Chain A
Amino acid sequence: MAGVLLLALPWAIEVFALRHTEARLRSELVKVRQRIERVGVNSFLAGQKNDQRLHYDLLEDEFIDLRRGQLLTAAQGDTIATLPRQQQGELVDFRVLRASFVHDGQPYTLEIGKSMESVEDVYGLLRGFAAYALVFAVLTTLLIELGVINYLLRPVDQIVMRLRAVQGPTPPPLPPLHTGTWDFQYLDNSIQQMLQKIRTVFEQEREFIANVSHELLTPISILQNRFENMLQAENLPEEAEMQLVTSQKTLQRLTATLRTLLLISRIENAQFARPDRVDIKELLAEIVEELDYRLQDQHIALQQQLTDDPVMAPANRTLLFTLFYNLLSNAIKYNLPEDGRIAITGAAQADGSYVLVVHNTGKPIPKEQLPYLFERFRRFDDGRVEGFGLGLSVVRSVAQFHFIRISAASDEQGTSFTLHLPRPR
């Protein structure tokens, strides 16, 4: 639109400028005729030879030419044309209005001219003005459009913001959207329905896991107690004893897996409260003491450099203990077999949050496995130490429960887990 306007503009201005000039010429003609009527033609022609009076204005871009006795154009009426004129030895283009009239029985021809140069001036002025006006118009339109569009699409922003706020599969119910636009209401309803479906499916899955784990704990109890009873028997052959102990161990693994699954489902079910204010340094000290025997056993050097005092609040101390315990336990388990290193570093951020990094030396985790690190039942089948693949899932669940962002990175130097602890409240 603006483009068409821009292309058409020079032409339009040129036409407009010419029209404007012609209108002026005509009004001047009228004025000259009025003057002749009033003071008589002789005062115009007085002292001139050839019955002709030619008058240029000071800058010589306008002239009035009145002569007697030329009736050539009388029949043709007024004409306007662009004509060359001799002016101090040069030909200059003038826009000329030629009119014939009869005064006191004498025919006269009157020419009023305006130099094309001055027309061009007007033309240039108009062009400049038009360009400014155009730019102004385009900018104003854009601004208004942006404003109006923003205003009209405000519900979309609201919807997007609300969707961004959804952290897990069971967000709190969204408040109804305030909009009169039917389409947005429709969109909002669809999103609400979708979230509801996701929530239902997730809750069913969670309930299922909780029920299964729970139902399995009783038979496991029976088996474990039976093994224990059998081991009590006198004169038990050594071989049978060994087999019982092996079975007990297998059962213990099963129990551990189930307990962890139950724990995860309880965390996701928000069955824990966040009543505590936890000093992370203190918590880490407790865990390090707990794991010290394993650090010593593998000759792992532990460095800790936490500037400022990280605090988590509100928090669940038991769960946070589990989170850091699992992280450190992993850092030991996947460390070098001898003389490895673990570094716990951290610093407060400008916004009051805290970034804490747990780094351990050891074989790097392949890049393609990193994204799945926190998923349930992922384990690296490269013959590394036995695990249940649930430790990091628990870490993630506890982190989510506390709004901690957690990420992992790994290279030849080792593996590090970065935790963004939110600002304590």
Chain B
Amino acid sequence: MNVLIIEDDKALARELGLYLHNERFHCDFARTGREASEKLFVNEYDFVLLDLGLPDQDGLQLLSEARKERNQQASIIILSARGTVDDRIKGLDLGADDYLAKPYSLLELVSRMQAIVRRKHGVTQDVLPFGPFVLNVSDRTLRHQDHEVPLTKKEFDLLHYLLLHRHKVLTRLQLSEHIWGSMISDSDDRDSNFIDVHVKNIRKKLATYDPSEWIETVRGVGYRMKTAQEA
């Protein structure tokens, strides 16, 4: 998968490229609007990651430009420090596929990119089984055989995220970024400690149906979803 990273800050572009490289993406970089225009004219990309605050051009203008040329199929994700609701709506109106406000978690970015890929190729994984449980994404339910396990909205999102990134340890920060990231509300409650309360509740609910520990606590770091063999 080819990704064009349009970002004027060198260090930020490097970190982003490094993470995406580890996730098997091939990255190309542009630091100015002009450079980006050229690359969009010449190459074909699957993803364009666009910083709105470019030194020579308004990112939103670049966005509509990108849509016209050969990169009509590319998925565009706006990465911006201008996190207002208006910017978000404007960006999405101009044809961006998603919008992330800086600072964002790289895991969240990759998750969204993967979600876009699944959507585009029609391989949406509606059903995620683990052990005796089945998480159904389309009707947002968790089932144990014939019984529905009642989950709150946040609990469902959290479990879904953990399942999508099985094998990986997810930090509390990454988890809270995922379930509270889009909220512009006050800081305090994005406090990653509240993740523990949610995880505790999910565990309690799972335990009434199945004795195995599905969510592993990685001391000091975060949580990891166990595989069927481990559990």
Contacts and interface: CB of A to CB of B under 8 A. Distances in A.
A238 B219 CA distance: 9
B171 A248 contact: yes
Contact of A224 (B82, B105, B194): B105
A256 interface: yes
Given A245-B221, A263-B184, A394-B186, A218 B201 contact: no
A276 to B, nearest CB: 12
A226 B84 CA distance: 25
Interface in A188-244: 214, 217-218, 220-222, 224-226, 228-229, 231-232, 238, 241-242
B220 A293 contact: no
B22 to A, nearest CB: 6
B83 interface: yes
A64 B99 CA distance: 121
Nearest to A224: B103
Contact of A245 (B18, B84, B171): B171
A325 B198 CA distance: 18
Contacts of B107: 228
A221 B102 contact: yes
A407 interface: no
B81 interface: yes
A260 B15 contact: no
Given A259-B83, A262-B83, A221 B187 contact: no
Given A333-B188, A390-B187, A242 B220 contact: yes
Nearest to B174: A228
A123 B22 CA distance: 118
A372 to B, nearest CB: 18
B210 interface: no
B81 A214 contact: yes
Nearest to A321: B185
B191 interface: yes
Given A214-B81, A217-B81, A217-B103, A222 B12 contact: yes
Contacts of B9: 218, 222
A406 B95 CA distance: 41
A272 B88 CA distance: 13
B123 interface: no
B74 to A, nearest CB: 22
B2 interface: no
B15 A229 contact: yes
A318 interface: yes
Contacts of B153: 289-290
A201 to B, nearest CB: 24
B18 to A, nearest CB: 5
Interface residues of B, number: 46
A300 to B, nearest CB: 13
A338 to B, nearest CB: 15
Nearest to A319: B184
Contacts of B18: 229
How would you classify the secondary structure of chain A's contact residues: helix, strand, loop or mixed? helix
Interface in B180-231: 184-192, 194, 197-198, 201, 220-222
B41 interface: no
Nearest to A255: B103
B188 A231 contact: no
B81 A329 contact: no
A256 B171 contact: no
Contacts of A217: 81, 102-103
A252 B190 contact: yes
Contacts of B19: 225, 228-229, 232
Contacts of A271: 84, 86
A292 interface: yes
Contact of B173 (A252, A294, A329): A252
A289 B152 CA distance: 8
B186 A329 contact: yes
B116 interface: no
Contacts of A231: 169, 171, 221
A293 B151 CA distance: 11
A381 interface: no
Given A293-B198, A294-B194, A221 B103 contact: yes
A297 B197 contact: yes
A294 B198 CA distance: 9
Nearest to B221: A245
A394 B189 CA distance: 14
Contacts of B154: 290, 293
Interface string B138-166: 00000000000000111100000000000
A110 to B, nearest CB: 110
A218 B85 contact: no
B134 interface: no
Given A218-B102, A225-B16, A388 B188 contact: yes
Nearest to B107: A228
A248 B201 CA distance: 25
B186 A391 contact: yes
A425 B69 CA distance: 47
A249 interface: yes
A266 interface: yes
Nearest to A223: B103
Most chain B beta carbons < 10 A, residue from A271, A293, A325: A293
A257 interface: yes
Contact of A225 (B106, B171, B187, B201): B106
B12 A388 contact: no
Given A259-B184, A271-B86, A391-B188, 19 more contacts: A214-B82, A220-B103, A221-B104, A228-B107, A229-B106, A231-B169, A245-B172, A248-B173, A256-B186, A260-B187, A262-B83, A289-B152, A293-B152, A297-B197, A321-B185, A322-B186, A326-B188, A329-B186, A333-B188
9 contacts: A222-B12, A226-B15, A245-B173, A249-B172, A289-B152, A292-B152, A293-B197, A322-B184, A387-B188
